[in-house]
Amino acid sequence: MQVRAAVAADYPLPATGRVKSVRGSVVDVSFSGRLPDIDQMLRAGTEQDVVLEVAAYLNENDVRCIAFHSTEGLERGAPVSDSGDCLSVPVGDAVLGRMINVFGEAIDGKAPLQGVATRPLHREPLKLSQRSVASEVFETGIKIIDLLAPLERGGKAGLFGGAGVGKTVVITELIHNMVGHYRGVSVFCGIGERCREAEELYRTMDEADVLKDSVLIFGQMNEPPGVRFRVGHAALSVAEYFRDETRRDVLLLIDNIFRFIQAGSEVSGLMGRIPSRVGYQPTLATELAELEERISNSAGGSMTSIQAVYVPADDFTDPAAAHVFGHLSASIVLSRKRASQGFYPAVDPLASRSKMLNASVVGERHYAIATEVRRVLAEYDELQDIIAMLGLEELSENDRATVNRARRLERFLTQPFATTEHFTGRKGQLVGLQDTLDGCERILADEFADTPEQRLYMIGAIAEVER
């Protein structure tokens, strides 16, 4: 920012140029004087209605830009003006309950946002000296997550899964629970979302009465790759304001971080860069780090991020999934097999991990129960082939007891969601951590060995079985 200020002092007048070439979403602009900074916003066309962002310098006179609008009708020689700064987004209480795009324009059919403070999209992450380093658990009210993959307050958690296994459903439930439990602010960032999904999410949140404490920011699937590539940065600027200025707990939900990487790959290809492994952009690691490193706790507030991660062809060795893994403190893997068996949320208890599941963080009791639950479920998984070939009767008495506990644990760790009440007809349940631990402990102690396992399916606390 100091360099930008120094340049502005030397050249007080904004730069002006002409369109040199247009290739899809890539526009080359020629300037006769000084060149604008990288990430600077330009406006092109006779009406100045096409927003560009400077992406690279070609030579001493030309820059290559990414267009944030359709370039249809933009011709060679069209005037281009330098705005003098990068793209900014509105922040503050005025954006609560609103749905906006990457330009800060309202897209919810309500009155436009006017006279609202703004923040630039591109900001430096907090310095290490300004960050809070305390390890605290962020309770979600979802049993299987709080027990086996507890989230970190101020950390980053990934929701991994293929198409149709319930990533968006889990995210909307987390928004519902965040507002009810923490009284914080939820910032939802939709990257490459379908317009149907955006409309459904907005309506669901409005009906659940959580919209008033939320901000929805969308870069939709039909928009240029530059918009989808920068909407995540816009959401971060909004979230940083609530964390730093109002000192509130912020839940940042990103759906889907893979589409951010995909948009970056499109931009890279349009820029003419040579692709890297599996066709991804050579700058994948850097671009992802620029986004992820801005998510952190400050001394006064927290920013917890939960990111849906589409895994191409369910291949966890894909470079996109592998790079995202490196930034996360918790990985929640959604399983297609569990979804097909009717276990919702379809979290895979053996593949999901969290660095917070440590006795020094969650306590000895939680750690011991979670470890025993995972051991029982792992043994049951190993016995599945034997049961399929020989039947349950051929197992030893100890193995039959393990199967009995595992099947009851699997059903107890399912849960009805408030955001799916109109589909299932079941009232949503937010279950406290202690209730979850009590239930699992009693199942492991065989208190419900004679209870029909179906009575443990889709309930909240274990007390419901006794009632």
User: Which residues are catalytically annotated?
Assistant: 167, 193-194
As to burial, measured by CB atoms within 10 angstroms (0-12 exposed, 13-18 middle, 19+ buried), residue 46 is exposed
Q: Which residue has the tokens 């920013």?
A: 303
Element (H, E) at 438: helix 433-444
Query: Which phi and psi angles does 47 have, rounded to 5°?
Result: -95, 0
The string of DSSP letters for 81-141 reads: EE-SS--EEE-SGGGTT-EEETTS-B-SSSPPP-S--EEES--PPPPGGGB-----EE--S
Q: How far apart are CA 245 and CA 247, in angstroms?
A: 6
Q: What is the DSSP string of 235-264?
A: HHHHHHHHHHTS---EEEEEE-HHHHHHHH
- Name beta bridge partners: 163: none
Task: List all residues 6 or more positions away from 423 whose beta carbon is below 8 Å from its beta carbon.
Answer: none
Would the CA dihedral through 128, 134, 140, 145 be positive or negative?
positive
Question: Which residues are registered as beta bridge partners of 253?
Answer: 188, 306
Nearest to 86, CA basis, from 192, 8, 189: 8
Residues in the chain: 467
Cis peptide before 256 (omega within 30 of 0): yes
3-class DSSP state for residue 178? helix
390, β-bridge pairs: none
Both tokens of residue 466? 């006794």
Dist. CA 28–CA 20, nearest whole Å: 5
Sequence-separated (6 or more) residues with CB below 8 Å from residue 322: 316
Q: DSSP code of 327?
A: T
Is the distance from CB of 24 to CB of 71 less than 8 angstroms? yes
Q: Any residues with CB less than 8 A from the CB of 73 and at least 6 apart, and which?
A: 45
* Nearest residue to 96 (alpha-carbon basis) of 239, 233, 197, 232: 239
Q: If you ran DSSP here, which 8-state letter would residue 40 be given?
A: -
